[in-house]
Amino acid sequence: MNLATFLSINAPAAAAASEALAKLTRRSASVKLLNAKLLSSMGDHPPFDREEIVSGVYLPITGGLPGAALLCFQEEKVSPLIEMLRKTKVENPSRLTELEESALKELGNIICGNYVTALSNALRVRILPGVPHFTRAMFGSMLEEVVARLPPDARGAVLVDVEIDLPSEAMLGYLLLCFEPERLIDV
Amino acid sequence: MSEVFATADAREVLTAVGVGSCLIIALYDPRLRIGALAHAVLPVRNGAAGGGKHDTRYIDEAIDEMLEQLAALGSRGGLEAKIVGGANMFPGLKEDIGSENISRARRKLNATGIPIVGESVGGAIGRSVEFSLNTGSVTVKIKF
């Protein structure tokens, strides 16, 4: 994997994601995509402890470079994020409503979708993000399911820091991307 | 993930942390107080097996590997099984890998004559597991 390629798409992907988020929330919004670390596997140097409860949005990636994207946020940061997206208070953060989950899925769509589009443009390969799926669980357990759905030889992963400006603070999330290595070499 | 570990040391506690759709299989020989733990990812291998070696990512082959390792430690049968995991972490997805893992393990264990004496499976929850070789007990931690 070429790290420079991933670093170069952070800015255009973040700009497009910020614009889409501003449209959704009808206020100025800022999404920053920072750094890009290459991991030898998706479970290598994870951003969270395997037992830590996190909220995650998973999107399968299809097309010329099949793989997976997993966007994760720390549990305690999710309520302010949903409140920014929906402009209504989250009553029970450990039992989100369908609409609250849907808001996070839409955020996953925006961030992962724009990242994959920027990657697609940079590599000149057609890559398509799939339908987003939400879960709130131990980080390790959601990572397992994503890895199980990848081809056996899909080992390398890219970890991107995601920073979203909320009214009171900036919140940090993580975007994990994994692709079939043989296809990546072909690219 | 994809690992099998067997031991005859009754002081050992085998663990698996943050288990989702994967299946943890604990086999215990209460007579000898020896056991093995597998952390299998998928139900069955698609395509031919390569090189005669078990690929412990798959349920069937992980169980075969456990039986071989336990036999090498002196077990001659009388094993009991406990299974944990097999969750469906993203319930909207069509393919339920967790359920397939559970079914495969039940079939394979039944075919090998090993009774399942305890289980904590399914749902959309993560689990952590501790398997005590001293008592054969399996402790499951669930966080909401």
For the ranges A17-26, A55-64, A154-163, the lowest mean pLDDT is seen at: A154-163
**pLDDT of B51 higher than 80:** no
Q: What is the predicted pLDDT for the residue at A169?
A: 75
Lowest mean pLDDT among A6-20, A73-87, B59-73: A73-87
Shortest alpha-carbon distance between residue B89 and chain A (Å): 6
Q: Is B65 a catalytic residue?
A: no
Give kind and range of the element (H or E) at residue A3: helix A3-25
Instruction: Compute the CA torsion angle A22, A168, A142, A113 (nearest 10 deg).
Output: 10
Provide the strand spans (E) within chain A: 31-39, 53-63, 67-74, 127-129, 133-138, 157-165, 170-179
Mean pLDDT of B41-47: 85
- Quick one: how far is CA A7 from the chain centroid? 15
Q: Give pLDDT, residue B118.
A: 96
Closest residue in A to B85 (Cα) is A141
At residue A182, the pLDDT reads 60
How much is the mean pLDDT over chain B?
Answer: 93
- Mean pLDDT is lowest, of A8-22, B38-52, B97-111, for B38-52
Burial A106-141 (b: 16+ CB within 10 A, else e): bbbbbbbbbbbbbbbebbeeebbbbebbbbbbbbbb
> How many angstroms away from the CA of A152 is the closest CA of chain B?
9
Q: Which residue does chain A place closest to B125, by CA atoms?
A: A137
pTM across the whole model: 0.88
First to last CA, chain A: 10
What are the helix and strand counts (H, E) for chain A? 5, 7
Partners of residue B51 on adjacent β-strands: none
Which class for B113: exposed (0-12), middle (13-18), buried (19 or more C-beta within 10 A)?
Answer: exposed
Mutation choice for A interface testing from B3, B23, B90 by most A CBs within 10 A: B90
Do B90 and A147 count as a contact with CB atoms less than 8 A apart? no
Q: pLDDT value at position A25?
A: 86
pLDDT of residue A4: 83
pLDDT tens digits, B69-91: 999 999 998 999 999 999 999 98
User: How much is the ipTM here?
Assistant: 0.88
Position B9 scores a pLDDT of 95
Q: What are phi and psi of B105, to 5 degrees?
A: -65, -40
Out of B18, B88, B144, closest to residue A50 by CB = B18
Q: Which of A98, A134, A144 is the mutation pick for testing B, counting most B CBs within 10 A? A: A144
Our CA angle for A84, B88, B142, nearest 5°, is: 80
* pLDDT band (50, 70, 90) for residue A42: low
A145-154, B57-66, B105-114: least confident range? A145-154
Tokens representing B71 are 């036999």
pLDDT score of B13 more than 80:
yes
